[in-house]
Amino acid sequence: MGLVVYGVIAAMALVAVISVMITPGAERHLLSVLPLPILALGLGWITLVSPSVVFTDEALEVNNPLKKTVVPYGQIELVETTRGFTVTTPEGKVSAWAAPPPDRLSAERMDPRDPLLWKDPRRLTDESQSIRTSAAPGTYSGDAAVNLTHRRAQQQRDAGTPIGPVVRTQNVVNTVVLITTVLVVGALIAI
């Protein structure tokens, strides 16, 4: 979904720049118009396109706008979906931008009495055997939690895999995009 929204933003930025370029006499305003599309494209990339949740054979990789966290499955103590996909490790919590809970309208449309929801083999239930909408299959946070549950069960079957530490690093690409965007926009505004 983030890629679709970013595509719309990129198309709008392109239309804005082209409209200024083809309008007679407006070329002189191009430098004053250019910072906004550049800012929208740079920040859109960082917040809409790059966040992801990746499941490898050994670990969960959470790519947030400026941080990348690799969490070995054995380090995960708790999985939550209430306010988005979040895992708790001995070193703290890791929340994923790419797996938010469903919005209020989507949550209201989910009927817990729906027999298809109860028959779905991917569903996760809490202690009372009820399904929280944020953990339901078909939602970003629910699908991430279900996938993680299956990966952890598979890893437990393949016992003997050494458990590594949680690794938090700077998302270098996004940091470079952010710095470049700010510098270019600042330079254009200063002109």
Strand order through the sheet with 52-55: 52-55, 59-63, 67-72, 167-170
pLDDT of residue 184: 93
Eight-state DSSP code of residue 95:
E
Eight-state DSSP code of residue 141:
H
pLDDT of residue 135: 66
Express as a percent the part of the chain with pLDDT over 70: 79
Separation of first and last alpha carbons in the chain: 36
Q: How far is the C-alpha of 121 from the C-alpha of 110, rounded, in Å?
A: 17
pLDDT of residue 150: 83
- The CA-atom distances, in angstroms, between 76 and each of 37, 52, 122, 187 are 40, 18, 20, 45
Q: How far is the C-alpha of 122 from the C-alpha of 146, rounded, in Å?
A: 6
pLDDT of residue 128: 53
pLDDT of residue 167: 94
> What are 93's strand-pairing partners?
88
pLDDT of residue 62: 96
pLDDT of residue 90: 92
Ranges of residues in the chain whose predicted pLDDT is under 70: 103-137, 158-162
